Amino acid sequence: MPSLQTRKSVLFLSCVAFALVFCAVLSCRSSPIDDSDVRYYTFEVVNSYPHDPDAFTQGLVFEGGFLYESTGLYGRSTVRKIDIKTGVVLASRNLEKSYFGEGLAIAEDRIFQLTWKEKTCFVYDKNSIILLKSFAYPGQGWGLAYDGKDLVMSDGTGVLRFMDAPTFKEKRRVEVEDRGSQISLLNELEYVEGEIWANIWQKDQIVRISPGTGRVTGWIDLKGLRDIADARDSEAVLNGIAYDAAGGRLFVTGKNWPRLFEIRIIETR
């Protein structure tokens, strides 16, 4: 049997080894993210299209050559299918006056539409916009996107929830952070080439987010676009991102904006 002195030496070395490992792990977890990991962009307008100035845009999707939009406000909320070139509403469904329409996403042949405080997600047939069913969820509903597997939901905080499309049950969540600082007020969402892009409420910016970690990968500065849109109302904030995956086109608009823009982003640093 080892002597008492030997046992004390082994215990001491074990404690030292544990402390070194613990410090190494802590150092890795707390080390700052290099600023070079985050990209910054500006924009240029490629095309401009008419947009209903009475549409309080809450959700936007491009699918099959058409634009799908969710509009908000009590008594004025709709889900609609739009000819993108003319802005003409091809099909529309009104929500009951007690519902405030929010984020919109399309998964397969279904349209999913959130509501703000009513804790209800409506599901429609994509072609007819006939209401098929609804799901309940906790908390508020803000933005919604589909990543090809799950529906990604924002609720006005700095958290993204990943929901199972068939059941709308939460599978996981991530906190969105930029170099250790949480990014809150995440609003309308879009899935763009492996990332989640989000409007930030009342900001002329789009934030690019890694869906796996919640880490911010980039910032797109859209300052000045609101003036180009001639959107003068104080509520007419940037809100609406739609991506044409087949054509590589990016569309943006805002609440009550009379124009929808196709833009190209340009990296600045």
The domain of 23 spans: 1-31
| Kind plus residue range of the DSSP H or E element containing 186 | strand 186-192
Please indicate, yes or no, whether residues 10 and 79 belong to a single structural domain of this protein: no
Residue 197: closest CA among 239, 257, 231? 239
Please indicate, yes or no, whether residues 105 and 1 belong to a single structural domain of this protein: no
Which pLDDT score, from 0 to 100, does residue 37 have? 85
Domain count, the chain: 2
Q: Does the CA dihedral 231-233-237-240 come out positive or negative? A: negative
Please indicate, yes or no, whether residues 21 and 59 belong to a single structural domain of this protein: no
Please indicate, yes or no, whether residues 109 and 194 belong to a single structural domain of this protein: yes
Q: Does the CA dihedral 230-235-238-243 come out positive or negative? A: negative
Q: 200-214 burial by CB neighbour count: b if 16+ within 10 A, else e?
A: bbebbebbbbebeeb
Residue with tokens 């099909």: 91
pLDDT tens-digit readout, 171-228: 999 999 999 999 999 999 999 999 999 999 999 999 999 999 999 999 999 999 998 9
Which pLDDT score, from 0 to 100, does residue 233 have? 78
Strand partners, 152: 145, 162
Please indicate, yes or no, whether residues 48 and 173 belong to a single structural domain of this protein: yes
Q: What is the CATH number of the domain that holds 136?
A: 2.120.10.30
pLDDT tens-digit readout, 39-87: 999 999 999 999 999 999 999 999 999 999 999 999 999 999 999 999 9
Count of C-beta atoms within a 10 Å radius of residue 72: 22
pTM: 0.84
Please indicate, yes or no, whether residues 129 and 231 belong to a single structural domain of this protein: yes
3-state secondary structure of 58: strand
pLDDT tens-digit readout, 245-260: 999 999 999 999 999 9
